[in-house]
């Protein structure tokens, strides 16, 4: 009985500590929302208090300034994610199912590319994009995003597809299906969990990208939200802090909603694919 009481007391203390840590983790979010609803006068006189009155106009001003850039981000990221997932699924299928000379060597060469820091490829990528005449073109973002995310995506897809029953693929071939048919009708549907994980992982990465869009996109109308919000913040100055923070809330909200509804799928795909075997 004494041991049981000690266990209950220990668990209660643990839950209390975890609750406090969770509350502290939400403090920056609450503060950001509070600041986004205040006027400059309220920020200067009562920074830590609740907004009174609430300035919803901060959001309308911010949205009118960055809505086009948010739309650009959605379109560029969606195109890049769809292309990346399709190519990664095909690459994972080839390395997992097909047997060809040099497969193991090519796979290890592919994995070795993960050892190269992304920052070292910035200059070569920029020179290549400039030589191809793609600056200020959405392809300057989409193509490097797709190629840059391929390595990890192919490794995850290959690991997952390798665990799929080979008898399914063999049966399809005996029925006369070619490799493309086997991939589209059998391998891709079986790999949906890991493909979803790859899509979410890269979607967040692409949407949050700041440095590369800043380097290759100079036209403000073609720019993405992460860069546009910095320009909006600089233009607003200290007198528009509430509007600037409202802009940050707006561009953060899509990712927050996405991860809220897909976090379970993301973790299931990651644990069933990347950690299998």
Domain harbouring 260, CATH code:
1.10.3720.10
C-alpha–C-alpha distance, residues 161 and 194, integer Å: 9
Q: How many CA atoms lie within 13 A of 50 on its CB side?
A: 2
Residue 52 phi/psi, 5° resolution? -155, 105
Domains in the chain, number: 2
Say whether pLDDT at 168 is over 80.
Answer: no
| Residues 131, 140: Cα–Cα separation, whole Å | 11
Is 145 inside a domain boundary?
yes
Q: Between these two residues, 43 and 73, which has the higher pLDDT value?
A: 73
109 and 7 share one domain: no
Confidence of residue 1 (pLDDT cuts 50, 70, 90): low
The predicted pLDDT at position 5 comes to 67
Look at residue 271 in the predicted model and tell me its pLDDT: 66
In this structure, are 111 and 242 located in the same domain?
yes
Per-residue confidence at 277, pLDDT binned at 50, 70, 90? very low
Q: Are residues 31 and 161 in the same domain?
A: no
**83 and 17 share a domain?**
no
In a domain, 186, yes or no: yes
H helices within 132-240, ranges in order? 139-162, 166-174, 179-182, 188-190, 192-208, 211-216, 225-236
- Confidence category of residue 189, pLDDT binned at 50, 70, 90: confident
Instruction: Identify whether 50 is part of a domain.
Output: no
For 16-31, give the DSSP string. Answer: HHHHHHHHHHHHHHHH
Q: Report how far apart, in Å, the C-alpha atoms of 73 and of each of 207, 221, 222 are.
A: 6, 11, 9
* Residue 27 structural domain: 2-36
Token pair, residue 192, equals 């949906």
CB 83, CB 95: distance < 8 Å: no
The alpha carbon of 17 is separated from its chain's Cα centroid by a whole number of angstroms, namely 30
Structure tokens belonging to residue 88: 């990664």
Highest mean pLDDT among 20-34, 196-210, 247-261: 196-210
Separation between Cα atoms, residue 277 and residue 275, nearest integer Å: 7
Structure confidence by residue, pLDDT tens digits, 22-70: 888 888 888 888 989 998 888 888 888 888 888 999 999 999 999 999 9
- CB within 8 Å of 237: residues ≥ 6 apart: none
Same domain, 24 and 126: no
Residue 44 lies in a domain: no
Question: Higher confidence at residue 266 or residue 169?
Answer: 169
Q: Work out the pLDDT band at 3, boundaries 50, 70, 90.
A: low
In a domain, 244, yes or no: yes
Q: Are residues 25 and 100 in the same domain?
A: no
Same domain for 164 and 104, yes or no, is yes
43 within a domain of the structure (yes/no): no
Integer Cα distance of 217 and 263 in angstroms: 31
Q: What is the mean pLDDT of residues 219-235?
A: 90
Let me know whether 18 and 92 are in one domain: no
Q: How many CB atoms lie within 10 A of CB 78?
A: 15
Question: Count of CB atoms within 10 A of residue 77's CB?
Answer: 24
CA distance 133 to 44: 48
Question: How many CB atoms neighbour CB 49 within 10 A?
Answer: 10
Whether 172 and 239 map to the same domain: the answer is: yes
Q: Is position 48 within any domain?
A: no
Lowest mean pLDDT: which of 44-48, 214-218, 229-233? 44-48
Assigned domain for 46 exists: no
Look at residue 10 and tell me whether its pLDDT is greater than 90.
no
The answer to whether residues 105 and 27 belong to one domain is no
Answer yes or no: do 79 and 25 share one domain.
no
- Residues 83, 172, single domain; the answer is yes
* 274 has pLDDT over 80: no
Model confidence at 169, pLDDT cuts 50, 70, 90, reads: confident
């Amino acid at each position: 009985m004494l041991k049981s009481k000690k266990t209950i007391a220990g668990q209660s203390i643990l839950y209390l500590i975890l609750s406090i840590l969770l509350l502290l983790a939400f403090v920056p979010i609450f503060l950001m929302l509070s600041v986004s609803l205040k006027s400059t006068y309220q920020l200067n006189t009562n920074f830590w208090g609740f907004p009174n009155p609430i300035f919803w106009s901060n959001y309308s001003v911010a949205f009118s300034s960055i809505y086009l850039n948010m739309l650009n981000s959605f379109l560029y990221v969606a195109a890049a994610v769809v292309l990346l997932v399709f190519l990664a699924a095909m690459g994972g299928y080839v390395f997992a199912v097909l047997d060809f000379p040099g497969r193991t060597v090519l796979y290890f060469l592919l994995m070795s590319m993960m050892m190269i820091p992304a920052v070292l490829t910035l200059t070569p990528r920029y020179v290549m994009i400039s030589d191809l005449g793609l600056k200020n073109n959405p392809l300057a973002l989409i193509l490097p995003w797709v190629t840059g995310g391929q390595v990890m995506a192919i490794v995850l897809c290959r690991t997952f597809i390798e665990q799929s029953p080979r008898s399914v693929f063999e049966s399809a071939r005996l029925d006369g299906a070619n490799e493309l048919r086997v991939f589209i009708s059998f391998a891709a549907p079986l790999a949906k969990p890991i493909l979803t994980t790859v899509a979410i992982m890269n979607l967040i990465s692409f949407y949050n990208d700041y440095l590369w869009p800043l380097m290759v996109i100079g036209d403000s109308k073609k720019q993405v939200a992460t860069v546009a919000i910095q320009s909006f913040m600089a233009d607003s100055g200290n007198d528009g802090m509430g509007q600037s923070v409202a802009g940050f809330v707006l561009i953060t909200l899509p990712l927050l909603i996405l991860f809220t509804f897909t976090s379970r799928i993301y973790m299931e795909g990651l644990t069933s694919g990347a950690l299998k075997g």
